[in-house]
Amino acid sequence: MPIIYENDTIRIETESAEIPWLKIFTQFPYKEMSEVPPHIKFEIYDLLDLIEREMIDYYSPDKINIASFGNYLPHVHWHIMARFREDSHFPEPMWGTKQRESTLSLPSFETFCDHVAQRAAKA
């Protein structure tokens, strides 16, 4: 998964999918959010907010999904996804049952990622 931004405490990666999907990871492999130092928690929450707002402004999705499971990968990370009524899984989660075939026509994901990386670097 390509990394679009990182510093000493976190990194933002892309997920290959039909929808815009980013993930925020801690650099250190904390297993649970309760183990993450407060200053890194605040950084994660600020980035979740930044990414959500950028997705809304850039894509005008029907909904933003934010999730943190970590059952297969016990390393604190967050998924941020722009969801659309026409995507193949909506209203199910992207890990759920496919509902339909879909061919979304969305603005450039690469341009979006560049913009997020620039904003994250300034945050």
Task: Compute the 3-state secondary structure of the chain and give helix, strand, coil in percent, each to the nearest 5.
Answer: 30, 20, 45
* pLDDT for 13: 98
Q: Rounded mean pLDDT of the chain? A: 95
Number of domains making up the chain = 1
Q: What does the pLDDT read at residue 31?
A: 94
Q: Which residues of the chain have pLDDT under 70?
A: 1
Q: Are strands 77-83 and 21-26 parallel, antiparallel or unpaired?
A: antiparallel
What pLDDT was estimated at residue 1? 63
Tokens 């659309």 -> residue: 84
pLDDT of residue 123: 84
Q: What is the CATH number of the domain that holds 40?
A: 3.30.428.10
For residue 44, what are its two tokens?
């994660």
Give the range of the structural domain holding residue 19, as residue numbers without chain letter.
Answer: 3-122
CA–CA dist 9, 7 (Å, integer): 6
Query: What pTM does this model have?
Result: 0.95
With contact defined as beta carbons under 8 Å apart, do 55 and 82 qualify?
A: yes
